[in-house]
Every structure is written in structure tokens, then in C-alpha cells.
Amino acid sequence: MAHAERTLPYPAFVLARIARYRKNNHLTQKEVAAYMGITQQTYSEYERGKSVMHIEEFLCLARLLNVSVDFICGVTNLEEEFPKC
């Protein structure tokens, strides 16, 4: 029986955008994790594609990075700010 091919939970460009915008905002993984209420190890797994964020965490991250979820996910390439509630 053949082994299933391992795929990332998100496309590589999504993970790259998350990491790039974290760095552009001068934030460490530890700072992002604290804001999201998770451990640095858990956040690191998200950013490396080893684990999947819950939708609430994804929204929280978009707010912190001040970009839309649509931008992070590649639905749009417009770098619009996250809409304020």
C-alpha cells in the first residue's frame, strides 16, 4: 500500500505571507503567540505548516498584522488593512 503524500495545511505562499507580515511588523513569534493566547511552539507550528489554525486564531492574526484574511489567503493581492469592527 502506498503512503499518502504529505501536504501542507495551507499553500506555501500563505505561510510565507504570514511570516513576512509578522517580520514587517517587527514581531517575534513569541509576541504573536502571546497576543493570540497560545504558546510560541504552537504558533511556530502554524507558521511552518505543521498545524492548522482555528478560524478565530486566523482572524486574530490578521487583525494583529493589519491585513485582510483575503490577502493572507491569496483571494486578493490588494494589501488592504483589516477592516475595523
Please report the domains of the chain, with CATH numbers, ordered by start residue. Answer: 12-73 (1.10.260.40)
Report the pLDDT value the prediction gives residue 65, as an integer from 0 to 100: 93
Q: Contact at 8 Å (CB) between 81 and 67? A: yes
Per-residue pLDDT of the chain (85 residues; tens, 9 = 90+): 454 445 557 889 999 999 999 999 999 999 999 999 999 999 999 999 999 999 999 999 999 999 888 888 888 877 766 555 4
**Mapping DSSP to helix (H, G, I), strand (E, B) and coil, where does residue 60 land?**
helix
Tell the burial category of 78 from Cβ atoms under 10 Å away from its Cβ (0-12, 13-18, 19+).
exposed
Report the pLDDT value the prediction gives residue 1, as an integer from 0 to 100: 46
Report the pLDDT value the prediction gives residue 7, as an integer from 0 to 100: 56
Q: How many CB atoms lie within 10 A of CB 6?
A: 6
